[in-house]
Amino acid sequence: MRDFSTPIPPMPHDPSEAARWEHTRLRRRMLYGAWREDLDRRIALAIGAVRREAWGIPDLSSNVFRSSMTSMSVLYDRRPKVHHSDQNSADELSKYVIDAGLWPLMQRVQRDTLGMREMFVRVDVMPDRDDPGSAEVNYRPIPPDMVLAYAHPEHPDEPVEVREMRLRRDKHGKPRWTWDVLSVVDLDMPFYRVISAGDNGGEDLSAEYLGVEGGLVGEAYPYRYSDGRPFLPLVLHHAAKTGMLFDPYEASELVEGSLNVSVFWSMFGHVIRQASWPQRYAVGVRVPSAVIDGDQDATIRESVIPDPATVLLFEPSDEGVSPQINQWDAGADPQALQEAISLYERRLAAFAGISPADVQRVAGDPRSGFALAISREAARESQRRYEPVFSPIDEELLGITAAMINRTIGSSLPEDDYRVAYESLPPSAEERQGEREHILGLIQAGLLDRVEAYRQLHPGLSRADAEEALASISAINARYRPV
């Protein structure tokens, strides 16, 4: 029978890399909704195991970390446009990219990049089985907690060797973890090998998975530009330009705070269920025929199920004792607790870079902190903030894709100088009118030329493209000038 169980991936031997993987995996679980056990541990750590059992089901409805990352990941909400001096080739490459689903995939990749600080995207190209003259392109995101990477000292944020942990199956169909090792440290001797991971790590498995003993080395290395330069078939997206290959602990405070918020909301649920009403007590009396539940290891209590249509009859528990029946106030104020937690959430969102003025509440109650959204202007500001970080890597990815298509099917697509233009969220009617009046005023005052004005209205265009568009508009308008 085929084994479909997934073994746990082994951890790196380097303690610092193991710590990076462990923290990054916490972030990944929080981004992908698999963090209930983390919250359970945090609650038990905060209040102890006994009180933890009394709280019941933990509340996962608020995740400020995930909400913040999702709200700021708007760069790819609209499909970017690919430009090149040879626009026909750019359109051809763009068709491959669109068919491969890169831009919808990048919506998730940007969120994960902001959350985990880095994300790899690997490219695979194969001949199209239905059309021999075409190619099939596939993009695969790789989280940083499955990668060991090394950079050149002169370019410390660009990997030159990458080891990716991959789950493969051996010749008997059993799953096992392996390392995909790609290196261009030595440009004359690049290599691609597959080796075993775990306790028996280091065994060369290239013959089994790549078909070549010792791997694809030197001239056999397949990933090259048209001039022969080798490259890695992947790119590394950074959340910020830091001059480092990995920046795993940035904004750890947001991660920790988000876990704390969920602890607070779990307490809120406990208060609503069990501590939001007055606690009754009786001294010297008992309810006849009360049910006694509990055991030796639990608190014994006497209870009776009352009904509004019945009258509870008490009897003295001991002779000579003056009976007392009273109640304490509610154990907590749910409304005050809710407002305090919401303030904590807003503080965390501000720490993530979301201004309180830009936050829009999308829940029915404005005090609720369960759902956050940012205004359109804040979304456009987020696009402007991350465009300089993502655009060089996206353009590099396009060049790598073109080179791999060329090597696969013998085409002649340009392999560099691509430009990616990100389309910002459309402004409202009032915003469009204000921007148009502002630009026209600058043109009339002689402070802005028409080419630059056109570029402002169409972000991402080069000056040459803007001049060409304006010339086309002028020519068409001249032909259809009203009599």
Q: Would you state the pLDDT for residue 1? A: 47
| 91 and 136 part of one domain | yes
CA distance 399 to 90: 10
For residues 114-132, one letter each, b for 16 or more C-beta atoms within 10 angstroms of the residue's C-beta and e for the rest, the string is: bbbbbbbbbbebeeeeeee
Of 201 and 436, the structure prediction assigns the larger pLDDT to: 436
The tokens for 76 are 């790819």
DSSP-derived secondary structure for 366-434:
TT--S-EEE-HHHHHHHHHHHHHHHHHHHHHHHHHHHHHHHHHH------S--EEEPPPPPPPHHHHHH
| 62 and 130 part of one domain | yes
Backbone angles phi, psi at 306, to 5 degrees: -85, 170
CA distance 416 to 21: 34
Q: Would you state the pLDDT for residue 384? A: 86
Q: Would you state the pLDDT for residue 437? A: 86
Q: Would you state the pLDDT for residue 365? A: 45
Of 284 and 183, the structure prediction assigns the larger pLDDT to: 183
Residue-wise pLDDT for 69-87, tens only, equals: 998 899 999 999 999 999 9
Sign, Cα dihedral of 31, 33, 37, 42: positive
| 123 and 63 part of one domain | yes
Q: Indicate whether 449 pLDDT > 60.
A: yes
Q: Would you state the pLDDT for residue 292? A: 58
Of 432 and 70, the structure prediction assigns the larger pLDDT to: 70
**Is residue 181 a part of any domain in this protein?**
no
AA letter at 160:
V
| 386 and 470 part of one domain | no
Candidate from 58-67, 297-306, 362-371 with smallest mean pLDDT: 362-371
Q: Indicate whether 139 pLDDT > 90.
A: yes
Q: Would you state the pLDDT for residue 311? A: 54
**Is residue 475 a part of any domain in this protein?**
yes
CA distance 20 to 116: 10
Of 236 and 345, the structure prediction assigns the larger pLDDT to: 236
Backbone angles phi, psi at 281, to 5 degrees: -145, 160
Residue-wise pLDDT for 21-60, tens only, equals: 999 999 999 999 999 999 999 999 998 888 888 888 899 9
Candidate from 178-192, 267-281, 303-317 with smallest mean pLDDT: 303-317
pLDDT mean over 380-396: 91
Domain count, the chain: 2
- Of 390, 419, 448, the last residue of a domain is 419
Question: SS3 of 155, please?
Answer: strand
| 45 and 130 part of one domain | yes
Q: How confident is the model at residue 190 (pLDDT cuts 50, 70, 90)?
A: very high
Q: Indicate whether 271 pLDDT > 70.
A: yes
Q: Indicate whether 473 pLDDT > 60.
A: yes
Q: Would you state the pLDDT for residue 278? A: 77
| 73 and 37 part of one domain | yes
| 48 and 84 part of one domain | yes
Backbone angles phi, psi at 274, to 5 degrees: -130, -5
Of 423 and 43, the structure prediction assigns the larger pLDDT to: 43
Q: Indicate whether 300 pLDDT > 60.
A: no
Q: Indicate whether 118 pLDDT > 90.
A: yes
Q: Would you state the pLDDT for residue 359? A: 57
Q: Would you state the pLDDT for residue 308? A: 56
**Is residue 327 a part of any domain in this protein?**
no
**Is residue 149 a part of any domain in this protein?**
yes
The tokens for 379 are 């979304």
| 415 and 448 part of one domain | no
**Is residue 301 a part of any domain in this protein?**
no
**Is residue 5 a part of any domain in this protein?**
no
**Is residue 49 a part of any domain in this protein?**
yes
- HSE-up of residue 273 (Cα within 13 Å, Cβ side): 12
Q: Would you state the pLDDT for residue 87? A: 92
Of 66 and 432, the structure prediction assigns the larger pLDDT to: 66
The tokens for 256 are 């920790």
Residue 267 belongs to what H/E stretch?
Answer: helix 252-274
Give Cα separations from 37 to 30, 57, 188, 416 (angstroms): 11, 12, 48, 46
CA distance 107 to 70: 9
| 450 and 415 part of one domain | no
Candidate from 177-181, 342-346, 424-428, 452-456 with smallest mean pLDDT: 424-428
Contact criterion met (CB below 8 Å) for 216 and 210: yes
**Is residue 124 a part of any domain in this protein?**
yes
Q: Give me the residue label for tokens 């963090």.
A: 35
Of 380 and 473, the structure prediction assigns the larger pLDDT to: 473
- The range of the structural domain enclosing residue 102 comes to 15-159+227-251+381-419
Q: Indicate whether 165 pLDDT > 90.
A: yes
Give Cα separations from 305 to 56, 224, 289, 290, 325 (angstroms): 22, 78, 11, 9, 17
Give Cα separations from 330 to 95, 272, 279, 305, 338 (angstroms): 64, 10, 6, 20, 15
Interacting residues of 294 by C-beta distance below 8 A, sequence separation 6+: 300, 301
Tell me the residue ranges of DSSP E strands in 288-384: 291-293, 301-303, 315-316, 324-330, 359-361, 372-374
Q: Are strands 147-152 and 155-169 parallel, antiparallel or unpaired?
A: antiparallel
Helices of type H across 32-124: 36-47, 49-55, 64-72, 87-100, 102-116
Residue-wise pLDDT for 80-108, tens only, equals: 999 999 999 999 999 999 999 999 999 99
Using alpha carbons, select from 26, 470, 6 the residue that is nearest to residue 248.
26
Give the percent of the chain with pLDDT over 70: 85
As a whole number, the mean pLDDT across the chain is 85
| 411 and 452 part of one domain | no
CA-CA-CA-CA dihedral for 22, 24, 28, 29, to nearest 10: 30
